[in-house]
């Protein structure tokens, strides 16, 4: 999967599937998440001010709603 990173937005890191990693911005998270086979093993982090922070799927759902992205983690 190829993504273009906009450094003016938060950068997200998705990890899972035996060490596979994907960096993307918020609008690319649904596509990146769907590309993983084991969805339960995927962990999502975001980078802001040079620090990595784990984000829950529940909080990410509220961010999607705030940014008008039609995707919801179950």
Q: Is residue 19 part of a domain?
A: yes
Who contacts 67 (Cβ-Cβ below 8 Å, separation ≥6)?
Answer: 26, 27
Q: Is residue 2 part of a domain?
A: no
pLDDT tops 90 at residue 45: yes
Q: Is residue 43 part of a domain?
A: yes
pTM of the model: 0.85
How many distinct structural domains can be found in the chain? 1
Helices (H), 1-74: 29-34, 57-66
Average pLDDT value over all residues in the chain: 89
Q: Is residue 34 part of a domain?
A: yes
The pLDDT of residue 14: 95
Per-residue pLDDT reduced to its tens digit, 3-21: 777 777 888 999 998 889 9
Who contacts 61 (Cβ-Cβ below 8 Å, separation ≥6)?
Answer: 72, 73
Q: Is residue 38 part of a domain?
A: yes
Q: What are phi and psi of 52, to 5 degrees?
A: -100, 130
Residue bearing the bigger pLDDT, 6 or 55: 55
């Amino acid at each position: 999967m190829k993504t273009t990173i906009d450094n003016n937005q938060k950068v997200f890191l998705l990890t899972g599937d035996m060490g596979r990693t994907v960096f993307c911005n918020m609008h690319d998270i649904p596509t990146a998440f769907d590309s993983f086979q084991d969805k339960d093993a995927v962990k999502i982090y975001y980078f802001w001010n040079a620090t990595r922070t784990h984000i829950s799927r529940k909080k990410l759902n509220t961010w999607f709603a705030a940014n008008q992205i039609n995707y919801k983690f179950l």
